[in-house]
Structure 1
Amino acid sequence: MGGLSQRIAVVSGGSSGIGLAVVTQLLVAGYKVAFFGQHSEHVDAALTALHRQFDPNDILGRRADISVLNDVQAFFAEVEQLWRKPDILICNAGISPKTPEGAPTPFASMDLEEWHGVLAVNLTGAMLCCQAVIPSMTSSRFGRIILVGSIAGRTLPKVAGAAYVASKAGLSGLCRSLVASSIGSGVTINVVAPGRVLTEMAGSADSPVNTAILERVPVGRLGTPDDIAHAITFLASSEAGFINGAILDVNGGEFAPL
């Protein structure tokens, strides 16, 4: 995928967990990849690891807050200045606040700061990123947008709080709206909805919460970031051009809407 045909991909929340796995898989597949994360130390650590394995000229990593419009605009402007406007967008950035005990904030005691903060990152941030790329994707007659949802937005939530659930369900609505407004544009928009994935956000595999979830997963294990990244990488490819407006559940069978 080298030369003039080399695709440009952007990954929000790409400095750790699922996002970093996506960045890695896209680089393996031959893309140039730009990513951003909210914490400078995570971005720096990711860049150090990626530069050992891939050509640094194919990688751009920056600290940016997806809930801040100026940060998002500055990041996409830098991508365009360095390479050109992106062909692929993966909206992965997300937060899920928990109490000190690791439980979601009870709905009755959740304050507006938490509610607005979660939606600003998980939903509004995705909207801002989509606004940054759809015009150029439409002009070039090619684009792939993948929104990272959650099993919590698909069925009764087991461990997620109300703000997180609402934000992830909202991504499905955003997807439908973008599909309807992108008819004939060459741009596809899809949602990947992971189940429980072993990341820093999910905690250790042997925690009581994860042990209980494992009992509900027919494949007999929890997910890995690579499980999700492989699905996303396929949806980003030219081979996925007839998949549009879909929700791909990647959860080991814990939720199976058959």
Structure 2
Amino acid sequence: MSKNYIIFGASQGLGDAFVKGLPIKGDTVWVVSRTRPKSLDINDGVHRKWLPIDLSSQQQISDLKEALKDIALDVLIYNVGVWEKRGFEDDYTFDQDEIVDIANLININLTSTITYIQALLPNLRQAKNAKIILIGSTAGLDHTNNAQVSFVTSKFGLRGIANALREHLRKDGIPVTCINPGELAAEVPYEEGAEKAIHLYEGTRIPVQDIVAIVQCVLNLSSVSCVKEINIPAITDLNA
């Protein structure tokens, strides 16, 4: 039986890997991103539809609801996250973060997560065995030695969203799973394979194929099971 997916943040990296690796022939995937994803050009029997939405504001929520109307959604994957402009540079310091950038990061990583998922709850309730997957980060776990204050705050907050949303949807039988990967080899496209990513980064970054496989496992579970949270650091990551 075919499934309907909606994947947020799906134009590149891990989101692009989900769009390519999760659906099978006959499935439909709504791809939410600001820029047109190249995955729309793939001819593999999967129906991919682009929703050009800028998640930095709430103004397009009505457009999203109108586009999906009475469509039952089997899978919602929220894979959105921005970080400090120089957050991964050696000379990064929280002291120099601009107020407007902090507010924008929190808005995208937390507010939009809440509001855009809220808008699609009626669609998820129409499906027989709907599932919600939130993609977090090991930066949102305890003792990971990350000094990016706003980013870490947002990823801790994402776990809070998952916990509260799970309780809200318990009566509907819709499980909410938060997956927290470590650093990903997101620059290596899904179709180029895990071995290339492993070799390129000498095993220090997680191939996107691993996260796709984890999500596939969660999606294949019966309606009885609820996977609350999965943490996936690289084996070499001593801080996670």
TM-score by length of 1: 0.77
Matched residue, 1:15: 11
Matched residue, 2:220: 237
Aligned pair in 2 of structure 1 residues 140, 45: CA closer, same or farther (>3 Å)? closer
State which of 38, 47, 54 in structure 1 corresponds to 2:40: 47
Aligned pair in 2 of structure 1 residues 59, 142: CA closer, same or farther (>3 Å)? same
Cα deviation code 1:46-81 (max 9, x no counterpart)? 322xx23x236x111232111322323313421347
State which of 192, 214, 227 in structure 1 corresponds to 2:210: 227
> After the TM superposition, which residues 23-172 of structure 1 pair with which residues of structure 2 at under 5 Å, given as runs?
23-28=19-24, 31-38=27-34, 40=35, 43-48=36-41, 51-52=42-43, 54-55=44-45, 58-80=47-69, 84-99=71-86, 102-103=89-90, 105-140=92-127, 142-158=129-145, 161-172=148-159
Q: Aligned letter for 2:156?
A: A
Q: 2:220 matched to 1:252?
A: no
1:31 Cα offset (Å): 3.1
- What SS does structure 1 have at the residue aligned with 2:50? strand
Moved more, 113-122 or 26-35: 26-35
Alpha-carbon contact 1:103-1:159 (below 8 Å) kept = no
More helix by share: 1
Alpha-carbon contact 1:11-1:92 (below 8 Å) kept = yes
Aligned pair in 2 of structure 1 residues 102, 47: CA closer, same or farther (>3 Å)? farther
Alpha-carbon contact 1:17-1:199 (below 8 Å) kept = yes
1:182 Cα offset (Å): 1.7
Identity %: 21
Q: Distance in 2 between matches of 1:37 and 1:86?
A: 18
Q: Unaligned stretches of 5+ in structure 1?
A: 215-219
Alpha-carbon contact 2:72-2:126 (below 8 Å) kept = no
Matched residue, 1:190: 177
Q: Distance in 1 between matches of 2:234 and 2:109?
A: 23
Aligned pair in 2 of structure 1 residues 47, 160: CA closer, same or farther (>3 Å)? farther
Alpha-carbon contact 2:145-2:239 (below 8 Å) kept = no
Aligned pair in 2 of structure 1 residues 101, 115: CA closer, same or farther (>3 Å)? closer
Q: Distance in 1 between matches of 2:23 and 2:118?
A: 24
1:241 Cα offset (Å): 4.3
Q: Distance in 2 between matches of 1:140 and 1:12?
A: 19
Aligned pair in 2 of structure 1 residues 235, 131: CA closer, same or farther (>3 Å)? same
Aligned pair in 2 of structure 1 residues 106, 34: CA closer, same or farther (>3 Å)? same
Aligned pair in 2 of structure 1 residues 223, 130: CA closer, same or farther (>3 Å)? same
Q: How many residues align?
A: 230
1:141 Cα offset (Å): 5.2
Aligned pair in 2 of structure 1 residues 182, 21: CA closer, same or farther (>3 Å)? same
1:185 Cα offset (Å): 1.0
Alpha-carbon contact 1:34-1:79 (below 8 Å) kept = no
Alpha-carbon contact 2:184-2:208 (below 8 Å) kept = yes
Q: Unaligned stretches of 5+ in structure 2?
A: 189-196
RMSD: 3.0
TM-score by length of 2: 0.82
